[in-house]
Structure 1
Amino acid sequence: MATIDTTKLLATSTPEDRAAECKAIMDKLSEADLVKIDATLASLKAVIADKSKQAANGRAGALGFLCALHAKFGHAAESVLVPLLPDALEALADKLKPVSFEADKFAQSLISKLSEHGVKSVMPMLLAEYESKWQTNLGRAQLIGMIAKAFPAQTGRCINDIIPVLSTLMWDVKPQVKEEATAAMQTCAATCKNKDIKDTIPEIIQCILEPEKVAETVHKLAGVVFVQDIEGSALAIMCPLLKRGMDEPTTSIKRNVARIVENMSKLVDDPYEIEPFVPILLPQLKRAKEEVSDPECRNVCEKAYSQLELTSKKAPIWARIERAKVLASLNTAAAGAKLHEATANYAVGLALSMLDLKLLDEALWKTALTPHLKLTLPAAKIEGVVKSWLEVCAKDVHIEEEKEEVDDAEQLCDCQFSLAYGNKVLLNQTVLKLKRGFRYGLCGKNDSGKTSLMRAIANQQVEGFPPPTELRTMFVETDVQGEAKDGSGKLLSELSVLDFVANHAGLKHYGVTEAMAREKLLSVGFAEDATPNPDGTMPAADLTKQVGRLSGGWRMKVALTRAMLMKADILLLDEPTNHLDPGNVKWVIDYLTSLTHVTSIIVSHDIKVLDQVCTHVLHIENLKLKMFKGNLSYVAENHVPALLSYFELKATKFHMRFPTPGMLEGVSSKGKHIMKMTNISFTYPGAPKAQLTGVTVRVSLATRAACIGANGAGKSTMIKLLTGELEPDKGSGEVWKHPNARVAYVAQHAFHHIEHHLDLTPNEYIRWRYEHGSDKEGVEKVTTKLTPEDEEAMKKPFIIDVEAVDKNGAKVIKQEKRVFNRFTDGRRQMQKSKEQEYEINWVGDMNFTTWVSRAKLVAAGPVWVKLLKHCDERIAAKATQLVRPLTQKVVEGHLADVGLEAEFATHSRMGALSGGQKVKVVLAGSMWNTPHIVILDEPTNYLDRDSLGAMAEAINAYEGGIVIISHNAQFVDQVCPEVWHLENHTLNLKGSYDWLESANKEAAKLEKQADSYIDGQGNEIKVQKAKKPASKAELKKIKKEIADKRKSGIECYTDEELEAAGFLVEQ
């Protein structure tokens, strides 16, 4: 049947008549007629195009015919009906409802029953621009959403073209179109297989509607860890956000976008995948690198531009198959058979879709193509045509080679993946193979991605890594952060050791009971409770102790105990011997080497540990992960000579510099003590025996002291006593610090300083921390904390001297009772007595202040001692403000001094930094106020050898005092000649011969030169010298001064004061 008479159909005016006429025509048609009705379809196309009112019935009838044809022949009719879809889309906006109804019915029928690989042929029609009304745009958005939901894989390959069109429709003036386009955008974005940006997709889409959210979303995207292949779908979804980011006026946002583009470009192997980026972002990057005012930002944009351009010009990893070539190969395979043009073109579209998805299964091709090829080819010939056609096309598709086994051990995983933060690429298309029972040492330079890789594995973010149902993987770490998940609202650090282990969600899932947890914890050295040991001492750790109060060594034992109970297949250990004394280090080594059926990945800076434990080395270099058999020394000797350079204590990567401390009043020599503890004892509440007894230490600007001792010996306790965080036992001795001395204390578990500010950059964090002069993160010290009794004492009237004028106009000194309001932070030194005075504002008059001597304030009660310490600390902190203004540029330089480059210091949020980088932030934050004394509790944790070498050089060059708690013997030996050894609850001082000789010379020099010292209250006290009789002239001068003072109502010199001045007063 070559032609069809549609005259009656086009003249019908009711739906019932149209349906009847369509049925009559369909009854006469067979499947073979589909390739013979081209003339009929062409005439119907012309009818639909006639927009006159008189042709309305004809338009409705023509669209009804198309719908009936599809309903009868289904997939076989697609080749002739799909080309007419644009006409139906135009008809959706027809003013006459019967026409728009039939158009919608046909479009919905065609799309809802479309062949899965027909998407590639249909989508260009839905994305084309139409000049008709909003109804067409509404229909387009609806149909795109339907396709995305039904065929996600095929839609994902078209998403590069979909995103720009839907983005435009989301700004349509019609609410219906806007709403439908937004829903379609969400459905299309959900087809993206990249799990890394899954959580960010809703925010990226929202930025299309609310551009003011671009800055925050760019920051969030910059912190995403990418571990999956970067494909066109992920890039296309990010493209609108990045384009808007480049349009932002803020330089930092432009810079972040440029860095993201640069690094994502590096992760794309196939240049075809980056096509959505090139025409949109390349011109913007070019403009930015030429026009942005900030030279550093221009440099970043230049790098991004070069990388994007380079990637776009790379040779493809597989040849893109062009339509003309596929059509020619079909004609060749058909061996001269005459093919129907529309059918052949549609079949080529199906083939291109399957090739794009690398689907080369012959059965799949036969199923998809047979309904169309059988219209013009004999059934017996179809199978051969499909087979030969596939063979020709498959040669142009790149298929990954199969990976081969390298040994006989059980293989746990074999995956290929990429790893990156939004602004830093760490690994690109690298392979990870793990075997059961092997212990892998993970090595690489600082910030190469060692910890990030292990966290990505633990969080199931590595593409191709077996799920937890197949492999039990445990990340062993000592940090205890977050809240308990039992509904109690407690922090994890507040849980007891037993509850922390027994209530772990992962362990409960594997059936671990509280009894099992107790047994395992007791086996590794924990005590049952806090009952004293037979010798009267307290146990170092027990099951009832809060996890947050454990030392680092015991925390590591808790973490390893959880791994034991989980019976993990893979252990991921990040610095497992940090915080541990030699005895516990041996325990960890013995435990790991005993695990013959458990695989371990270990990051450590200890060569001896890696040599004794590792069977293999995983080396990160040039964005790739390479595996070598053997321990660290063997691999370094035979494969990677540079490997040991990671473990040499040299500053080869960068230099670190500590800020120069300011001058201290009354301190003319570096050997003069500015902090000291004398005969101090300390007992924890409820403990039967003192933790420390008779501890005496002295700290000066020349101090380089290492505090060593076993875990739980009290090293951190002693430091907290020295800094005032803890108060010693009453009557045990004296703790004193020069009132102007600034002290930086970096605690053992350093991350707690910044864990609440991870959405700030390091630069922003330091500026926030010191914006009011004093340190907001400063620990509240027990020795300065005001008690309710202190607050009551502050309300008592204070007798002060007030200058007044009597009735004769003469100046007199009167005494008044006033109530303290606040210190103004004014402080001065009296010229004659050299005693310090403080300016105080009194209650009742905000403008009324007087100067009161330190001695008088101290004599008024202990509350004034605490208030004076607060005031001295504020004055000391403010002393740095004039020297170091709190600006972005100055803070950036300060961060650079501790080894944190501008990329991470100013342009990366702290949540995206590595462990080593976070420690540098903590160090920089603690040292912003140019301290005179730096106290470092386990500073070597999370720092690689480059960083340790740089820190050692910085300590040696530092002009202030250093006190270090560390188990790293190599580091301590290099920088600390003086040793404070805590053992048996007391302190033994040791030092090298050279240091002792130098210290003795300095002490002798001081003894000879000293004529004053600062007492415990900060007063400068003159050293008594041999008294000499006063001469007559001197006594006459003294008597005159006494008479003048008495006349003015001022206190006179006493005999004691005269003797203190060095005179013998004659009676």
Structure 2
Amino acid sequence: MEAELQAQIPGLDHVISEYSVGYLTHASKTYVEDANAPSPLAEAADAVTELLISASGDFSAQNEEAIRNLVEKFISSLSSTDGVDPEQRQMPFMAKKLDQAINVGSQRNMSSTLGLAGGNVDLESANSRKVESRVDRKKLEKAERKIRAKQEKKQMKTVQYEASRLLNEATEAMSYEEFYMAVNPLQLGSDSQAKSKDIKIDSIDISISGHRILTDAALTLAYGRRYGLVGQNGIGKSTLLRALSRREVAIPNHISILHVEQEIRGDDTPALQAVLDADVWRKHLLAEQEKITKELAAIEAERSSLADTSKDAARLDHEREGLDITLSDIHAKLAEMESDKAESRAASILAGLGFSPERQQYATKTFSGGWRMRLALARALFCEPDLLLLDEPSNMLDVPSITFLSNYLQTYPSTILVVSHDRAFLNEVATDIIHQHSERLDYYKGANFESFYATKEERRKNAKREYEKQMAERAHLQAFIDKFRYNAAKSSEAQSRIKKLERMPVLEAPESEYVVHFKFPDVEKLSPPIVQMSEVAFGYTKDKPLLRNVDLDVQLDSRIGIVGPNGAGKTTVLKLLTSQLQPSSGLISQHARLRIGYFAQHHVDALDLTTSAVSFMAKTYPGKTDEEYRRHLGAFGITGMTGLQRMELLSGGQKSRVAFACLSLTNPHILVLDEPSNHLDIEGMDALSDALQRFEGGVVMVSHDVTMLQNVCTSLWVCDRGTVHKFDGNVNAYKKMITEQANEVGVAAPH
């Protein structure tokens, strides 16, 4: 049936077709005790038919009849299986619970997911023409509740923590252009400009495979504001961004959306052209402009040979008039996009993200994954959507690029929603903070991260005091009631207190404070020298040296931070320190009993995600009981049953904590850390910073997180232009120097 639905309704969202087939299949198998009760299958057929008509956007009698015939045909095929041995019956489809609920018509503008099925239909304009969905919402909601209850009853048997599963699923087989055009229908003319681009949705529910992310939450985004979305690891921040990017939340179609989520696919397209092509509608409009110009020229040539009074002349004049109107709209849209400045703006953005003029001409397939992620970010900045969604953008960038991005976003003209755990970045970029927790969203207007954190703590303390005060008063009243309820002399006073107790508002217990602790083992003392690099040079090929004349001394009290642009050799320095690479020339000496703990940037590659953290540690670092491994994981914030779950179901931050727990089992004297803050939430980064400060051994760290560098490192080394040298100043002074250099080069701001 799904194939036939796609043929009848081109572009129908696969979620709706799956839902329709599953709903009908489930209804056909439902047992009804009361013979006089309405048929579940008939109810399902009516609801699905109305749903599909709404999704098609075509309310003509012909289309309605075709869809009804398809539904009846499918029901007939289900009925034809009656009489077959139930054990041998092969059902072609099974009811499937949706990862996200589709609330048809629950919002003022209807579900935007349905809008995708109709191509370029503007649902808000459609509503203004009084074209409304005729879905029987009560029937649909009743059927959804039945299916949901049945599925949840099954899931109660085994608890699964799958909040991060959606994030690992591949995007549907859709090209970038197809997805962009489906999510962002083209809006020509002045109507779209007159519409408000504020987003206000009073009630949204989001869940993934039975794991509730948001319940009856309010989403409010004022146009032009920059929102920082914060919350602990595994709470569902990335899931919310993905739901917004796919319009699974009912965002009006005239608001364009772009989400930086996955690296671009590599091909022969030059990097600069890949950025230009990212604005799909600009590319489409330019092609359409060229096509219409040619058509007008052909019409003009044909018209010149005809008399003004002929029918062909009138027809051609009418065609020319229509093409002139369309061409005028295209010119206006291209002018609005500032299409003539596109190439210089794209080049400027790429330069700010570390692409030299030469590298901008390289084919995208020649770049590594990290650089392709930068290209994805450059494409989003170039497109300037009305709603820009960024998920941990600093994870893919070095300090110079983060400095550029922070400065660029501060003048961004549209709305930004960014998930980040980088305090310094949020302090510079965010105008407001959204705190996601307890299946809801709390708003802190006009707050950067520091003011949000202080306000949140004050709110929490006040709520705790108010709750404790009320509980004490309730206990006092209840004690009096219990003592004198049946005392005739005190009965009136007891009744008065009962009424007072009933009138007291019921306060929810405040959330327990979310605290994470990291603990590295004690370090045995070693006499210096510990690690020394003298006149070290290295190159992956003999004709292209990457590093030269590197002199670095690491002691047990060292706290060294290494910064610099990506590709300059920072990770290579760490691999030389840990003997993973051998120098081309020079000398690296180490203490004979030295143990080095290395935290790799891509540490997840070293974990077996198909097993649990406890099983992995028992196999890799044998010698302890499961209970000892669980206690050890608890020292890094992996508590309860989390250590027994398959690691592929853990969030990125939880996987990082497992990697740190494994690292500490080696009892290192020196910790060599490559981007240790990636994926950790703010509480996790605070815990790591505190643990590193207390650690009695040495620390060498490559990091882009300004706060962690400030809190942990006492000396800053810059890796750039083939060498490593000590920087006289702190990380803020380094950022200031980078900004001044960028201003001298003249990197453009968004228009």
Range of TM-score over shorter length:
0.5 to 0.7
Q: CA deviation at 1:570?
A: 1.4
Q: CA deviation at 1:680?
A: 0.7
Q: Are 2:272 and 2:347, in contact at CA under 8 Å, matched by a contact in 1? A: no
Which amino acid in structure 2 is aligned with residue 430 of structure 1?
A: A
Q: CA deviation at 1:519?
A: 6.2
Matches of 1:942 and 1:601, distance apart in 2 = 17
- Structure 1 match to 2:613: 762
Greater RCO between the two (CA within 8 Å, min separation 6)? 2
The answer as to 2:538 corresponding to 1:682 is yes
- Structure 2 match to 1:616: 432
Which amino acid in structure 1 is aligned with residue 562 of structure 2?
A: C
Matches of 2:563 and 2:410, distance apart in 1 = 28
Q: Are 1:745 and 1:926, in contact at CA under 8 Å, matched by a contact in 2? A: yes
Q: Are 1:705 and 1:977, in contact at CA under 8 Å, matched by a contact in 2? A: yes
Q: CA deviation at 1:409?
A: 4.9
Q: CA deviation at 1:558?
A: 1.9
How do 1:129-208 and structure 2 match up within 5 A?
A: 148-152=44-48, 175-178=84-87, 182=91, 186=93, 189=95, 195=100
Correspondence for 1:417 among 182, 196, 204: 204
The answer as to 2:231 corresponding to 1:444 is yes
Correspondence for 1:236 among 133, 149, 157: 149
Q: CA deviation at 1:671?
A: 4.1
How do 1:571-582 and structure 2 match up within 5 A?
A: 571-578=388-395, 580=397
The answer as to 2:728 corresponding to 1:941 is no
Matches of 1:423 and 1:740, distance apart in 2 = 51
Q: Are 1:441 and 1:603, in contact at CA under 8 Å, matched by a contact in 2? A: yes
- Structure 2 match to 1:594: 411
Q: CA deviation at 1:545?
A: 7.1
Alpha-carbon spacing, 1:718–1:438, altered in 2? closer, same or farther (3 Å):
same
List per-residue Cα deviations over 1:821-840 (Å, max 9, x = no partner).
xxxxxxxxxxxxxxxxxxxx
- Structure 2 match to 1:427: 214
- Structure 2 match to 1:603: 419
List per-residue Cα deviations over 1:241-272 (Å, max 9, x = no partner).
336x3xxxxxxx4xx27x89xxxxxxxxxxxx
- Structure 2 match to 1:585: 402
Q: Are 2:550 and 2:724, in contact at CA under 8 Å, matched by a contact in 1? A: yes
- Structure 1 match to 2:714: 977
- Structure 2 match to 1:727: 582
Which amino acid in structure 2 is aligned with residue 464 of structure 1?
A: A
How do 1:43-122 and structure 2 match up within 5 A?
A: none
Which amino acid in structure 2 is aligned with residue 433 of structure 1?
A: T
Which amino acid in structure 2 is aligned with residue 958 of structure 1?
A: F
Which amino acid in structure 1 is aligned with residue 639 of structure 2?
A: E
- Structure 1 match to 2:33: 128
Matches of 1:738 and 1:584, distance apart in 2 = 37
Which amino acid in structure 1 is aligned with residue 613 of structure 2?
A: P
How do 1:804-953 and structure 2 match up within 5 A?
A: 881-882=622-623, 885=624, 887-907=625-645, 909-953=646-690
Q: Are 1:501 and 1:562, in contact at CA under 8 Å, matched by a contact in 2? A: no
Matches of 2:667 and 2:268, distance apart in 1 = 39
Q: Are 1:421 and 1:912, in contact at CA under 8 Å, matched by a contact in 2? A: no
Matches of 2:627 and 2:30, distance apart in 1 = 53
The answer as to 2:326 corresponding to 1:475 is no
Q: Are 2:271 and 2:375, in contact at CA under 8 Å, matched by a contact in 1? A: no
Q: SS of the residue aligned with 2:86?
A: helix
Alpha-carbon spacing, 1:568–1:888, altered in 2? closer, same or farther (3 Å):
farther
Q: Are 1:670 and 1:702, in contact at CA under 8 Å, matched by a contact in 2? A: no
Q: Are 1:682 and 1:693, in contact at CA under 8 Å, matched by a contact in 2? A: yes
- Structure 2 match to 1:656: 518
List per-residue Cα deviations over 1:735-785 (Å, max 9, x = no partner).
34456644332223444445xx54443334444xxx3x5xxxxxxxxxxxx
Matches of 1:992 and 1:523, distance apart in 2 = 29
Alpha-carbon spacing, 1:991–1:600, altered in 2? closer, same or farther (3 Å):
closer
Matches of 1:563 and 1:959, distance apart in 2 = 44
Q: TM-score, normalised by structure 2?
A: 0.55
Alpha-carbon spacing, 1:694–1:499, altered in 2? closer, same or farther (3 Å):
closer
Q: CA deviation at 1:936?
A: 0.8
CA RMSD between the two structures: 5.0
Alpha-carbon spacing, 1:964–1:660, altered in 2? closer, same or farther (3 Å):
same
Q: CA deviation at 1:958?
A: 2.8
Matches of 2:456 and 2:271, distance apart in 1 = 45
Matches of 1:415 and 1:634, distance apart in 2 = 28
Alpha-carbon spacing, 1:713–1:195, altered in 2? closer, same or farther (3 Å):
closer
Matches of 2:440 and 2:546, distance apart in 1 = 50
Matches of 2:457 and 2:630, distance apart in 1 = 35
Gapped runs of 5+ residues in structure 2? 1-23, 52-80, 104-140, 163-194, 288-338, 462-512, 731-751
Alpha-carbon spacing, 1:564–1:229, altered in 2? closer, same or farther (3 Å):
farther
- Structure 1 match to 2:250: 464
Q: SS of the residue aligned with 2:568?
A: coil
Q: Are 2:44 and 2:143, in contact at CA under 8 Å, matched by a contact in 1? A: no
Q: CA deviation at 1:432?
A: 0.8
- Structure 2 match to 1:801: none
Correspondence for 2:598 among 737, 745, 751: 745
Which amino acid in structure 2 is aligned with residue 522 of structure 1?
A: A
Q: CA deviation at 1:620?
A: 2.5
Q: CA deviation at 1:983?
A: 4.7
- Structure 1 match to 2:111: none
Alpha-carbon spacing, 1:725–1:232, altered in 2? closer, same or farther (3 Å):
same
- Structure 2 match to 1:34: none
Alpha-carbon spacing, 1:953–1:942, altered in 2? closer, same or farther (3 Å):
same
Matches of 1:941 and 1:635, distance apart in 2 = 23
Alpha-carbon spacing, 1:764–1:517, altered in 2? closer, same or farther (3 Å):
farther
- Structure 1 match to 2:362: 543
Q: Are 2:601 and 2:676, in contact at CA under 8 Å, matched by a contact in 1? A: yes
- Structure 2 match to 1:954: 691
Matches of 1:921 and 1:622, distance apart in 2 = 24
Matches of 1:521 and 1:175, distance apart in 2 = 64
Correspondence for 1:692 among 547, 570, 595: 547
- Structure 1 match to 2:483: none
Q: Are 1:708 and 1:965, in contact at CA under 8 Å, matched by a contact in 2? A: yes
Alpha-carbon spacing, 1:971–1:986, altered in 2? closer, same or farther (3 Å):
same
Correspondence for 1:502 among 259, 263, 274: 274
Q: CA deviation at 1:599?
A: 1.5
Matches of 1:763 and 1:501, distance apart in 2 = 48
Matches of 1:895 and 1:715, distance apart in 2 = 29
Matches of 1:229 and 1:930, distance apart in 2 = 58
Which amino acid in structure 2 is aligned with residue 473 of structure 1?
A: I
Which amino acid in structure 2 is aligned with residue 897 of structure 1?
A: A
Which amino acid in structure 1 is aligned with residue 654 of structure 2?
A: Q
Q: Are 1:526 and 1:543, in contact at CA under 8 Å, matched by a contact in 2? A: no
Alpha-carbon spacing, 1:656–1:742, altered in 2? closer, same or farther (3 Å):
same
How do 1:785-800 and structure 2 match up within 5 A?
A: none
Which amino acid in structure 2 is aligned with residue 654 of structure 1?
A: V
How do 1:260-275 and structure 2 match up within 5 A?
A: none
Q: CA deviation at 1:428?
A: 1.6
Which amino acid in structure 1 is aligned with residue 614 of structure 2?
A: N
Q: SS of the residue aligned with 1:475?
A: strand
Which amino acid in structure 2 is aligned with residue 502 of structure 1?
A: A
Q: Are 2:28 and 2:41, in contact at CA under 8 Å, matched by a contact in 1? A: no
List per-residue Cα deviations over 1:859-907 (Å, max 9, x = no partner).
xxxxxxxxxxxxxxxxxxxxx644xx3x533332232222222333223
